[in-house]
């Protein structure tokens, strides 16, 4: 079997830690021959730090909501960039809405303002950040994998709808309550997982854990989809099973209830 884990709001609790019993169960899955994949909207460098901290080795990674796929043996095997016109219009639109915007180039975080939002994100992701005068100027040098806006949770749906109405070559996902991810059209965790399945010739059932809207494409590819108790009702409706919340060791509870026989090797 193949087990695919989202990080924030799923495997990680709200203190950004993973319980020892969850870690041990997941390691047991690998020892018994099952494959592990980590899929997140985070930057690659941020995901690698989390995995190294808790699992002390590397695994296949889906980063940037599917915009990048990484394999320990090969490095980055897939990467899709926003086109210049769409990225430029998104940045200009976010400026006009007076909301925070940041972009990701060469797995580095760039913003135009040294504000609380970028500081919060950098701390959340355990990464450095870089401030430039003009993000559009930076686009002329190299295109980004993703743009992210940090928005009040009361306004995030309205901003998402406005972005979609621009009719650009983008897809827009809410990845956390205040994070709005803008990625290239038809890029998502599900598409990236299908790429990974073919690339590695993965066999058996796919089990996916997630909590937010950006995990729904993952659920559609999975044989068994598991939403956390902290997920919205929209996400829960797309899942086969509802686990307890990420702060209640929901991943561990679901693994024990549904997959205990998978570690009896």
Pairing of strands 129-131, 108-111: parallel
pLDDT of residue 265: 85
Q: What φ, ψ does residue 117 adopt, rounded to 5°?
A: -65, -45
Give the residue from 43, 32, 254 showing the smallest Cα distance to 146: 43
| Alpha-carbon distance values, 219 to 71, 84, 183 (Å) | 22, 30, 19
Contact (CB, 8 A) for 111 and 129: yes
Assigned token pair, 166: 């621009």
For the entire predicted model, the pTM comes to 0.93
Assigned token pair, 90: 């998104």
pLDDT of residue 100: 95
Q: Could you give the 3-state DSSP secondary structure of residue 108?
A: strand
Assigned token pair, 105: 């180039």
Contact (CB, 8 A) for 102 and 110: yes
Q: Could you give the 3-state DSSP secondary structure of residue 68?
A: strand
pLDDT tens sequence across 125-162 = 999 999 999 999 999 999 999 999 999 888 899 999 99
pLDDT of residue 153: 84
Rounded Cα distance between 196 and 223, Å, is 15
Rounded Cα distance between 86 and 84, Å, is 6
Rounded Cα distance between 59 and 73, Å, is 9
| Alpha-carbon distance values, 56 to 15, 23, 49, 75, 229 (Å) | 19, 11, 9, 17, 28
Give helix 44-55 / helix 20-31 axis angle, nearest 10°.
90
Rounded Cα distance between 262 and 265, Å, is 7
Q: Could you give the 3-state DSSP secondary structure of residue 240?
A: coil
Give the residue from 116, 110, 101 showing the smallest Cα distance to 132: 110
The dihedral through the CA atoms of 117, 53, 147, 213 has a sign that is: negative
pLDDT of residue 175: 76
Contact (CB, 8 A) for 45 and 55: no
**36 bridge partner residues:** 3
pLDDT of residue 264: 85
In the chain, what is the straight-line distance between the N-terminal and C-terminal CA atoms, in Å?
13
Domains of the chain from N-terminus onward: 2-79+187-263 (3.40.50.1000), 84-184 (3.30.1240.10)
Positions of the chain with pLDDT under 50: none
């Amino acid at each position: 079997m193949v087990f695919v884990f989202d990080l924030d709001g799923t495997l990680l609790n709200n203190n950004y830690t993973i319980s020892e019993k969850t870690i041990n169960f997941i390691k047991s899955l690998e020892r018994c021959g099952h494959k592990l994949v980590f899929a997140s909207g985070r930057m690659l460098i941020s995901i690698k730090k989390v995995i190294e901290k808790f699992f002390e080795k590397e695994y296949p990674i889906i980063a940037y909501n599917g915009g990048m796929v990484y394999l320990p043996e090969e490095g980055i095997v897939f990467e899709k960039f926003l086109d210049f016109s769409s990225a430029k219009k998104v940045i200009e639109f976010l400026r006009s809405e007076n909301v925070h915007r940041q972009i990701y180039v060469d797995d580095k975080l760039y913003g135009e303002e040294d504000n609380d939002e970028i500081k919060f994100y950098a701390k959340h992701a355990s990464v450095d950040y870089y401030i430039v005068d003009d993000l559009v100027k930076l686009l002329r040098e190299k295109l980004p994998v993703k743009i992210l806006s940090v928005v009040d949770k009361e306004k995030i749906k309205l901003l998402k709808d406005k972005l979609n109405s621009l009719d650009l070559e983008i897809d827009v996902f809410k990845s956390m309550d205040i994070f709005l991810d803008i990625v290239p059209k038809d890029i998502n965790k599900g598409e990236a997982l299908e790429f990974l399945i073919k690339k590695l010739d993965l066999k058996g059932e796919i089990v996916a854990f997630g909590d937010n809207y950006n995990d729904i494409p993952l659920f559609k590819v999975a044989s068994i989809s598991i939403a956390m108790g902290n997920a919205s009702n929209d996400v829960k409706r797309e899942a086969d099973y509802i686990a307890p919340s990420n702060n209640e060791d929901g991943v561990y509870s679901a693994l024990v209830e549904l997959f205990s026989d998978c570690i009896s090797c």
